[in-house]
Amino acid sequence: MSQEESPDKIDRKKEREKLKEDPRDFEHRLHNAKMSFLNYMARKVLPGGFWSGNRLQPGESAYKQDDATANSDTNQTTLDGNGKIRLHLTFDDGPDPGSTPALLNLLAEKGVIATFFFIGANAKKHTSLVKEVQKAGQIIGNHSMNHLFLPVQTSKKIESEIDEANQVLEEITGERPSLFRPPFGLIDRRGAELLAARRMSPVYWGAVADDWQYIGEEAVTRRILKQLPREELIVLHEGPHLGKQTVNAAALLIDRCLELGFSFDSI
């Protein structure tokens, strides 16, 4: 072993070589390139919010910053107190009986804190699951009431999508969410101003696998791993047809990331 190569660097080199052995490696590389381009462009045009690399401090909100500062990837260190790179695991579109309980068991077993961005309509149908997530100490965020594409909605409709979901979640948990992930990851200036007035912060995306469709847990895991550690904000999706894939992918990801020396932290 050369003096310039630490064991950590060698392990990551081995991991990259393993990923290249996947017969779908080229497909995953194309996905990685696509997401890198989309992330770069989105940071340029979307209102300020939380991205990979600009972790909010306790009590801080993106609405306090201008867009250039809030969307920067150099605001905050991504290292934890032990010098490990922090990852942020998030789940969209729940709660769902086919995945949420199993995810809670997995997170408890691994000692990982994640953020669940719930759709208000789903939370209204599955109030007990929302309560279980809160009781488990996991973070709950707002993912709108009906998962509409907000930039094409009227200002009044955007407001109702935020407020109705907030109301549902607050009635169940007794706490109003402070984090909002816009459906499809996009929000315009009108939505950002509505969030700022409610002292809420937009949370965008980082490592995404296109797992809102079935591609298999191995593909989900490999696509996410290829985007680490550059994009440490991991996005996975719950849903009636995705339960097994999401739970299995989350288990694989957590194990591999911990083996590679990453840690997990709340947003």
Catalytic residue among 88, 92, 93, 147: 92
Distance set, CA 57 to CA 146, 179, 202 (Å): 29, 13, 14
Cα 228 from Cα 225, distance rounded (Å): 5
What would the two tokens of residue 129 be? Answer: 């699951």
Decide: 126 and 162 in contact? Cβ < 8 Å: no
What CA–CA distance (Å, rounded) separates 225 from 234?
10
Amino acid letter, 16: R
Burial (0-12, 13-18, 19+ Cβ within 10 Å), 42 = middle
Selected catalytic residue, list 31, 126, 143, 237: 237
Picking from 162, 110, 112, 102, the residue whose alpha carbon sits closest to that of residue 132 is 102
237 is catalytic: yes
Burial 102-134 (b: 16+ CB within 10 A, else e): bbbebbeebebebbbbbbbebbbebeebbeebb
Neighbours of 87 (CB within 10 A): 27
**Catalytic residue check, 92:** yes
Report the catalytic residues. 92, 237
